[in-house]
Structures are given as structure tokens and as C-alpha cells.
């Protein structure tokens, strides 16, 4: 998939654990883990907003588009 999720990078920069982010955002640890590992099929804008607020970042810091080479 050409969408890369850099959630782990932003969490490392902010020195925030998955558990801490889960509590701040208000989503389950398992759902946050699915998103972090790039396995999520979709993400609610409401969730993305909460993550950006908790990590003090922009959506583009978390999500990246890379065109696949054929």
C-alpha cells in the first residue's frame, strides 16, 4: 500500500509509549497497534485529530504517500 504510517517515528520523537498514547487518544491499545503497524484499512479524522493533538504534530508527520514503482 502506498500510504506509510510513521506513527512509531512520532511516538519516539515525543518519547511517548503506545500505552500512554492510547490513554490520551481514547482508543484501544489493539486498534492503535493496528494503525501503527500499517494494518488499518481506514482511520477516522476524529482519531487522526486526537493523535495529532497528543503528539503535537501534523497529519503529514504521521501519514506519508509513496508511489509504488512497477
Q: Tens-digit pLDDT profile for the chain (70 aa)?
A: 689 999 999 999 999 999 999 999 999 999 999 999 999 999 999 999 999 999 999 999 999 998 877 6
The model's pTM: 0.89
Distance of CA 67 to the CA centre of its chain: 19
pLDDT confidence of residue 2? 86
Residue 12 CA to residue 43 CA, distance in Å, equals 21
Domain ranges of the chain: 3-65
pLDDT confidence of residue 1? 63
Q: Fold for domain 3-65?
A: 434 Repressor (Amino-terminal Domain) (1.10.260)
Amino acid at each position: 500500500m502506498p500510504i506509510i504510517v510513521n506513527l512509531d517515528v512520532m511516538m519516539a520523537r515525543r518519547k511517548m509509549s503506545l500505552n500512554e498514547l492510547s490513554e490520551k487518544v481514547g482508543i484501544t491499545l489493539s486498534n492503535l497497534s493496528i494503525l501503527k503497524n500499517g494494518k488499518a484499512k481506514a482511520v477516522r479524522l476524529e482519531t487522526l485529530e486526537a493523535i495529532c493533538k497528543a503528539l503535537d504534530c501534523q497529519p503529514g508527520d504521521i501519514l506519508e504517500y509513496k508511489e509504488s514503482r512497477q
